[in-house]
Structure 1
């Protein structure tokens, strides 16, 4: 036998060689997986050590898990469904007035520091990326991240929501309140129970549609006050909290770990988001349809179906005959550049005005009405004062006279304090400004938060904070108005603050001058107090609504 010849048959050698290569490939793949896992684990360990010991915010306290990972925030907001706002109160009691609520952001519970963050002159304040996009990447002023672009968009809207503009439209507002009172009158005569959540949501939605678009949505006249629409909006808010809380660092431009190449993923997803939402959540289909209807109703069907050439839109719309000026008049006559006049941008601006402007005021009215009706002494003092400017139960009051009534002001201020419409933490980011808190440096670009709910329930400022006491606003030696921040402050404060105040004055006066509510079936801890934070506060899941019996005042 030739020495170079193998003693093994060729077929055996080929089988052995194939088997050996297969094992080698599997080993290589296994080694690659192990290597990737080891690299990933090493990065996680490095990231945790960096966040705990070398991060620019390392001097600020907080739970170890919150300082090391976003999982702490996600757990309370996503797993426990909107509980982080309430957990923050406990954390501040343990760690002090400033904490790291996640690795890269700070939360403050110092009422005197509020004006340092939320004021007109404090640098170029921006809205953090994941907060600006909480309702999706839609180009409305409320969701604008950058300071300069926000200033341009907000500037075009400011004149329409001025005090003068509100006063001009008071008669239209009163017409919708008269309709609500007519529904209450019928309910009192036929012993029909009324859910305050939906009746106030209906009237504020009608007012907002009238005010902004000169359209009459007639929601107050629907037998159920348009209940399904508001349940859809509740679902929308739940999804919005999910978006805000789950903003992963890799997709968060404010995070030092933000990767620009991931931007396309976010925008590709959101480009088909509307279609996905219609499939995953049927309630969102109605919300998206509402968004289109606002533009169609506000501009008219002819313009809505057009190719949207802005010069033609201006020509047609500004010569239309409608009841009164609308927000679209101000936008079309403004100096906004052409790219700010697109169909989708005006549509989303309209949608944000209606959803943000109606739901928050309705929330305050619902809870405030309960507190007034549940406190006979407060109700009688309020009624006595209202009679001085409203001699008859059906009188239409003068808004400026209502604004001068001290007890009515105290009642509304206490209602705003106790029923803070936005329970979620408000966020700001200063790209160029260094903040200082108690001698500690906060680097530029740090996202900082404060929560109005914690300020409004601060026992040092508002003793017995859980009790409804309007007199505190009349007797206090402290400047309490400084600590009342339901509409925020600064260049990003609530756009519709003047309209909201007008609604509160007029609705409270016109309703409680004429009606009383039997709230015996309402349980405050279950139906009124905020138990979860979904941007706005919502009661416990077993709540049966704020269902009341309507009673009519005799004189």
Structure 2
């Protein structure tokens, strides 16, 4: 539509979409008091959760109960748990090293992402990496939820069904973690050395009524849903493109070898993040995977918005799509070429403002630091310890084909199929 009609188009009777990176940076600025568009976000259920909260001021209050818990300093304290989950993934990889069998690395990544985010949010993890089916039921349920919810956006009379879908999936999959959540009581087997995110919310809440208990469940649902598919997809996409270019592989491996990173529970994440080529690889992986797969509408209820010669009345939803910016050749020459080197140029710092895999403004993904740490640790560990060989996976198996909120590949995608060899570190 933008190619035909220009940078601003009406995508439905009530909403306009703008393709203009500079305007989006300005409009979605953290200082802007923008509401979410209820019609668009209601399909994900959970009106009490922070992610689905429409009103800017209510969102600010709800997010404030856990904002500090997701700050980089706090997430750094969670690195031992991230590494523990990575070791679980590594055990699966080691078995495939011994057998020589092909491994669906996409499934491993998604299970690891779900285990990490659930361990941060809940008193205990989902432990999908330990499941016999490698979380296949959970992953199928997750895709079913996104597909169904997106379709139901246009069926307002089915809204009561929309709101229970995530709860049905959640309660079916979480078993013991769900019981621990509902009780919000630590049992004798719980790790008392840390407090999970939901307990932080619980401790900050003065009035614990029925609606508040429902909010806790909805927060857990949406954090886990949001933090599983997106991070898993980013890891799979990044790994695939590394494998497509031997030059990228070798540069990454040499940097990791010379950095002499000690991979254990005391891993220095700041040292890892300071590696320039690793950082460039991951940043390019985020650009290719997009983070959020769909447009993000926001509403300025207090004043009209001026865009070039157009005056947009107050209350009209204005949306943007990060993928359109990530693939804009004016910003990223040869946008479909995986090129970490673009992030090593002198002007790369300025370029990063156009990268928005976690969204923009005051509604930026609250779990972004957890995701970034996890991606850094996983990519660094895997390419230090294994020789990874692509087993007939094509780009078509991984690129986003469906606008379902999260980026999903085609329905019959076989995922990232690889074989593995143990690598002797130098």
Query: TM-score higher than 0.5 here?
Result: yes
The residue that corresponds to 1:139 in the other structure is 48
Change (3 A) 1:447 1:340: farther
1:21-72 C-alpha deviation (Å, 9 max, x unpaired): xxxxxxxxxxxxxxxxxxxxxxxxxxxxxxxxxxxxxxxxxxxxxxxxxxxx
Contact 2:29–2:360 under 8 Å retained in 1: yes
TM (norm. structure 2) is 0.92
> Aligned in 2, Cα 1:481/1:391: closer, same or farther, shift over 3 Å?
closer
Question: C-alpha displacement at 1:394, in angstroms?
Answer: 7.6
Q: Which residue of 2 aligns with 1:227?
A: 136
| Structure 1 length-normalised TM | 0.72
Structure 2 gaps of 5+ residues are none
Partner residue, 1:516: 387
| Structure 2 residue aligned with 1:308 | none
Q: Residue by residue, what CA displacement relative to the aligned partner does 1:296-340 show, whole Å, maximum 9, x if unpaired?
A: 1235xxx36xxxxxxxx7xx89xx862411113311221554458
Q: Specify whether residues 336 and 497 from structure 1 end up closer, same or farther in structure 2 by C-alpha distance, changes over 3 A only.
A: farther
> What pairs up with 1:333-412 in 2 under 5 angstroms?
333-335=203-205, 337-339=207-209, 342-390=212-260, 397-412=267-282
For the Cα contact (< 8 Å) 1:166–1:499, is it kept in 2? yes
The residue that corresponds to 2:172 in the other structure is 289
| SS of alignment partner, residue 133 of structure 1 | helix
SS of the residue 1:441 aligns to: strand
Distance 1:364 1:165 in 2: 23
The equivalent of 1:14 in structure 2 is: none
Deviations 1:131-166 (A, max 9, x none): 231212541111111112111111112121111111
Q: Deviations over 1:254-303 (max 9, x none)?
A: xxxxxxxxxxx66xx617964xx6xxxxx98444433675441235xxx3
Q: Which has the higher contact order (CA 8 A, sep 6+)?
A: 2
2:147 to 238, 242, 254: 238
Shift in Å at residue 199 of structure 1? Answer: 0.2
Contact 1:214 1:325 in 2 (8 A): yes
**CA pair 168-470 structure 1, distance change in 2 beyond 3 A:** same
Q: How far off is 1:487 after superposition?
A: 0.6
Structure 1 stretches lacking a partner, 5+ long? 1-90, 252-264, 278-282, 305-312
**What is the aligned counterpart of 2:326 among 456, 459, 476?**
456
Deviations 1:444-499 (A, max 9, x none): 00101100000000001101101100000112536210111101121111010111
Q: Quick one: structure 1 residues 382 and 340, their matched pair in 2 at CA, closer, same or farther if it must change by over 3 Å? A: farther
> Which secondary structure does the structure 1 equivalent of 2:403 belong to?
strand
1:326 aligns with 2:196: yes
Q: Which has the larger radius of gyration?
A: 1
Deviation, 1:438, is 0.7
Alignment of 1:24-173 (within 5 A): 91-122=1-32, 124-173=33-82
Judge conservation of contact 1:291–1:351 (CA < 8 Å) in 2: no
Deviation at 1:542, TM superposition (A): 3.6
**Structure 1 residues 321 and 418: alpha-carbon distance in aligned structure 2, compared to 1, 3 A threshold:** closer
User: What is the alpha-carbon distance in structure 2 between the residues aligned to residue 413 and residue 516 of structure 1?
Assistant: 22
Partner of residue 211 from structure 1, selected from 120, 145, 168: 120
Mean CA deviation greater in 194-203 or 128-137: 128-137
Matches within 5 A, 1:292-331: 294-298=177-181, 303=183, 322-331=192-201
Cα distance per residue 1:204-237 (max 9 Å; x no partner): 1111122222414321123431111111100001
CA deviation map 1:511-530 (0-9, x unaligned): 11111321141011x20111
In structure 1, the partner of 2:402 is 532
Kept after mapping to 1: 8 A contact 2:14/2:316: yes
Q: Deviations over 1:168-201 (max 9, x none)?
A: 1111111111121121112111112111221001
User: Is structure 2 residue 343 aligned with structure 1 residue 473?
Assistant: yes
Root-mean-square deviation (Å):
2.5
Residue matched to 1:177: 86
Confirm or deny: 8 A CA contact 2:107 2:415 kept in the other structure: no
2:414 maps to 544
State the partner residue of 2:111: 202
Tell me the SS of whatever aligns to 2:347.
Answer: coil
SS of 2:36's equivalent in the other structure is coil
Counterparts of 1:214 and 1:530, CA distance in 2: 33
Q: What is the rounded CA distance, in whole Å, between the counterparts of 1:391 and 1:104 in structure 2?
A: 52
- Looking at structure 2, the residues matched to 144 and 108 of structure 1 have their Cα atoms a distance apart, in angstroms, of 23
Instruction: Report the 3-state secondary structure (helix = DSSP H, G, I; strand = E; otherwise coil) of the residue aligned with 1:485.
Output: coil
C-alpha distance in structure 1 between counterparts of 2:344 and 2:375, whole Å: 19
Matched residue SS, 2:306: strand
Task: Evaluate the alpha carbon distance shift between residue 328 and residue 226 of structure 1 in structure 2; reply closer, same or farther with a 3 A threshold.
Answer: same
Change (3 A) 1:447 1:272: closer
